[in-house]
Amino acid sequence: MNIVIVESPAKAKTINKYLGRDYQVFASFGHVRDLPAKDGSVQPDDDFAMLWEVDGKAAKRLSEIASAVKGADQLILATDPDREGEAISWHVLEVLRAKRAVKDKPVKRVVFNAITKSAVLDAMAKPREIDQPLVEAYLARRALDYLVGFNLSPVLWRKLPGARSAGRVQSVALRLVCDREAEIERFVPQEYWTVAAALKTIRKEAFEAKVTGFKGRKIGRLDIKNEAQATEIVTFLNKAEYSVGTVESKPTKRNPAPPFITSTLQQAASSRLGFSPARTMQTAQRLYEGTDIGGETVGLITYMRTDGVQMAPEAISAARTAIARTFGERHLPEKPRYYSTKAKNAQEAHEAIRPTDFMRLPSEMRRFLDSDQARLYELIWQRAVASQMAAAEIDRTTADIIARHGGEQAELRATGQVVRFDGWFAAYADLREKDDKADGEDDEYGRLPELKTGEAVARDMITPSQHFTEPPAR
């Protein structure tokens, strides 16, 4: 009999099915020991010795695990593949050694990035030792939590009754919040105006252009400072005759972004789905731990706490197969795309967040999932598939319009783009909306009618708009 330790009971049931009768899987229910909240739990003068206390709820579970281990052939620690998971394995092993349950039995550490039968069996075939440097990173972090928090929290409780704790994270976050709030309070809004002209071609095709020059001087974003200046430009434009100056069209390509990591998943789920970070991670946890699909519990995504943007070679191959079948061969680039992180000190031990099987299409999975799970799975699938698709091909067009009256002239500019080939947009549309733009910013994402140099255009309406600069966002 082999005893396997994982973190959650949901995983324990699934993994036990994969491993069969020779294995018994127990859940630790997360951490089993912690530093007691009293003076002396960390002793800096004694080489940072730490006094651990077994959690009350965990004591009973650890006794059950110890009894099982005493009669087993080996112990396999299969907690999550991150620093906290490594620490939980270390804590469980330390407690079992103290109970003399392990003795000379072999102890193995295995990690899997996805809860699928193949991933679990593959991990079992490649055991390793507990990663001691990772455990020591956890111990340093936990000691710092304690030493900062134990000294800082009482100050917080006195000054702000009802506050829970302060420490390594909260104290720095508070500083950042205070610095930003002071910046917002110091901010002085600056008034500026934009002047836009609604124009029409001789074929009655409408488009919009913004003033960029007036009577020999360039007009930047903040250069029209008040209503009087705006009114002077509007009066001139209402009398002027319009013609097309230069038209420039540049073909460009837009490559896809890499698959999600933890932070980018939280950002996208917030902007596209309206999920809070906590809701995103709870939903991702359920997708990772697995759902019942046709009588079998299967993890639908890889581990969701990661800084790595790369995908395994077999996953890239599966994604390319799914792209060819779902979107067609033209959406498949000649060579696979490979990504690497730009962040310093990134924890790149894991893959990016991706589906465990790219042929489990979101439309087919919807009936097995609740609303939050279905929407988040679709987002993860779309981004991972898009990361391996062909570039989108776009024509960016800039047209300069000349307005002349009484020997003077003003310049206006119209910009737009036309998508010639959607590429990865077909899977993960670029959802930049007008609401996302700063006031006065050109609408590059609209479509311009065909314009020719020297062609006359008609004025429809001139619209001045007042704006104020905004302070930095909270």
List, for residues 18-76, the tens digit of each pLDDT value: 998 999 999 999 899 999 888 889 999 999 999 999 988 889 899 999 999 998 999 99
Whose tokens are 């990173």? That residue is: 137
Q: What is the pLDDT of residue 346?
A: 52
Identify which has the larger pLDDT, 40 or 91.
Answer: 91
CA distance 284 to 353: 10
CB-CB contact of 95 with 62 (8 Å): yes
Categorize the per-residue pLDDT at 444 as very low, low, confident or very high, splitting at 50, 70 and 90. low
pTM for the predicted model, two decimal places: 0.77
CATH superfamily of domain region 191-255+392-468: Topoisomerase I, domain 3 (2.70.20.10)
**CATH 1.10.290.10 segments of the chain:** 262-386
Which tokens is 156 given? 């917080």
Q: What is the distance of C-alpha 60 from the center of its chain?
A: 38
Query: What phi and psi, each to the nearest 5 degrees, are found at residue 102?
Result: -85, -50
Side chain identity at 393, as an amino acid letter? E
pLDDT above 60: residue 215 = yes
**What single DSSP character describes residue 162?**
T
Question: Catalytic residue at 445?
Answer: no
Q: State which amino acid sits at residue 349.
A: A
Q: Across all residues in the chain, what is the average pLDDT? A: 90
Structure tokens that stand for 327 in this block: 């979107």
CATH match of 2-130 with 3.40.109.10 = no
Query: Where exactly does CATH 3.40.50.140 map onto the chain?
Result: 2-130
Range 201-210 average pLDDT? 93
CATH of 262-386, one of 3.40.50.410, 1.10.290.10, 3.40.50.300, 1.10.390.10: 1.10.290.10
Angle between helices 83-98 and 132-159 (to 10 degrees): 100
Sign of CA dihedral 356, 357, 361, 365: negative
Give the tens place of pLDDT for each residue, 115-133: 888 889 999 999 999 999 9
Backbone Cα Rg of the chain: 30
Q: How many CB atoms lie within 10 A of CB 344?
A: 5
Rounded (5°) CA angle 282-286-288: 110
DSSP calls for 262-279: HHHHHHHIIIII---HHH
- In the chain, count H helices and then E strands: 12, 17
H-helix or E-strand spanning residue 33? strand 33-34
Domain with CATH 2.70.20.10 in the chain: 191-255+392-468
- Asked whether the beta carbons of 69 and 102 are under 8 A apart, the reply is yes
Does residue 6 register a pLDDT over 70? Answer: yes
* Interval 320-356: pLDDT, tens: 999 999 999 999 999 999 998 766 555 555 789 999 9
Neighbours of 418 (CB within 10 A): 14
Name every residue whose Cβ is closer than 8 Å to that of residue 2 and which is 6 or more positions away in sequence: 19, 22, 23, 24, 72, 73, 74, 75, 76
Helix, strand, coil shares, percent, the chain, to 5: 40, 25, 40
Q: Of the listed 146, 192, 242, 303, which one is catalytic? A: 303
**Residue whose C-alpha is closest to residue 288's, from 260, 256, 319:** 260
Tokens (6 digits) for 387: 């990361």
What is the amino acid identity at position 461?
M
Comparing CA positions, the residue from 210, 252, 212, 206 lying closest to residue 396 is: 252
